[in-house]
């Protein structure tokens, strides 16, 4: 049994108060006739309804307009998707206290990709670091990831999101250097995790799943890689990490801790 989600029942700055969901009532298998979640879909999601706005990134407001063919393609890493009596997909980890979609564009799984890019500090060989961005929404340091566009390969998303969030470079020479280093870096990568993300944006009917990739920089790339914040990032920097990472965005801590434990155990190569 996967652990009960915690962050998905917590506060998000753009969300109203959730209905309180005790641990014992999280699983859908537990009957709860009086359950009355807060109903919330953010205005930005409604405004980007793809059936109303050209280029909109969100599903229609009515879940019944998402057809069977689309559900057949909308796979979850967590297994088959279950639905409630109103045809809304059910969060595979249980109740969250908020119904509908919150800030998430798609009903059901919203797929993301997260690159963990690491290096050994250029002058202090005992310090392991990762590229981290400071998120605009919660102000915490995090992996520079993002949502997978329709029809896009996850490997492409990983590089695109890293470039958008950590490579916002206006100087042409620096940008060319960054692109060359990114091409070399993202030529490989090891999958660290695929599955549900315990995220405060999640709701009863929309949730985030991700594929986490690890790329380790050579000494040359790690010392030269220029970083500049862009897109959803307030700041970007090389961030000291270890098996425990209390200053990182909570949903990312376990993945980064796994990478750090393995690299620290092997030492520099």
**Region 105-129: what's the mean pLDDT?**
88
- The string of pLDDT tens digits covering residues 44-95 is 999 999 999 999 999 999 999 998 899 988 889 999 999 999 999 999 999 9
Question: Can you tell me the mean pLDDT for 149-164?
Answer: 58
Query: Which residue would you say has higher pLDDT here, 20 or 239?
Result: 20
pLDDT at 7 over 70: yes
Structure tokens at 222: 């790690």
As a whole number of angstroms, the distance between CA 152 and CA 145 comes to 14
Q: In angstroms, what CA-CA distances link 160 with 148, 166, 175?
A: 10, 10, 14
Higher pLDDT, 184 or 211: 211
Choice between 173 and 55, residue whose per-residue pLDDT is larger: 55
* pLDDT bucket at 162, cuts 50 / 70 / 90: low
Q: Bridge partners of 135?
A: 233
Q: Which domains does the chain have, with CATH numbers?
A: 110-266 (3.90.79.10)
- Summarised one tens digit per residue, pLDDT across range 217-233 is 776 665 655 565 555 55
Q: Give Cα separations from 168 to 60, 74, 101, 142, 223 (angstroms).
A: 32, 31, 30, 17, 18
What integer best gives the mean pLDDT of the chain?
Answer: 84
Task: Please give the backbone phi and psi of residue 247, each rounded to the nearest 5 degrees, phi first.
Answer: -90, 5
């Amino acid at each position: 049994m996967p652990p009960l989600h915690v962050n998905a029942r917590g506060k998000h700055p753009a969300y109203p108060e959730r209905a309180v969901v005790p641990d014992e009532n999280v699983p859908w298998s537990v009957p709860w006739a009086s359950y009355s979640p807060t109903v919330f879909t953010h205005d930005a999601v409604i405004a980007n309804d793809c059936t109303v706005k050209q280029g909109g990134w969100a599903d229609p407001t009515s879940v019944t307009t998402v057809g069977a063919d689309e559900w057949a393609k909308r796979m979850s890493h967590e297994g088959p998707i279950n639905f409630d009596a109103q045809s809304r997909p059910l969060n595979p980890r249980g109740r969250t206290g908020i119904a509908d979609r919150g800030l998430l564009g798609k009903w059901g799984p919203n797929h993301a990709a997260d690159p963990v890019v690491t290096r050994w500090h250029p002058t202090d060989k005992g310090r392991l670091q990762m590229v981290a961005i400071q998120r605009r929404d919660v102000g915490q340091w995090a992996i520079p990831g993002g949502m997978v566009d329709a029809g896009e390969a996850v490997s492409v998303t990983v590089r695109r999101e890293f470039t958008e969030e950590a490579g916002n470079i206006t100087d042409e020479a620096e940008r060319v250097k960054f692109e060359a280093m990114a091409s070399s870096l993202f030529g490989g990568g090891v999958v660290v995790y695929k599955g549900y993300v315990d995220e405060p944006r999640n709701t009863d009917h929309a949730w985030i799943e991700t594929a986490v990739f690890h790329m380790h920089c050579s000494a040359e790339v790690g010392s030269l890689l220029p970083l500049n914040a862009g897109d959803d990032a307030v700041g970007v920097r090389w961030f000291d990490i270890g098996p425990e990472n209390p200053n990182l965005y909570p949903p990312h801590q376990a993945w980064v801790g796994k990478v750090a434990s393995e690299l620290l155990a092997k030492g520099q190569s």
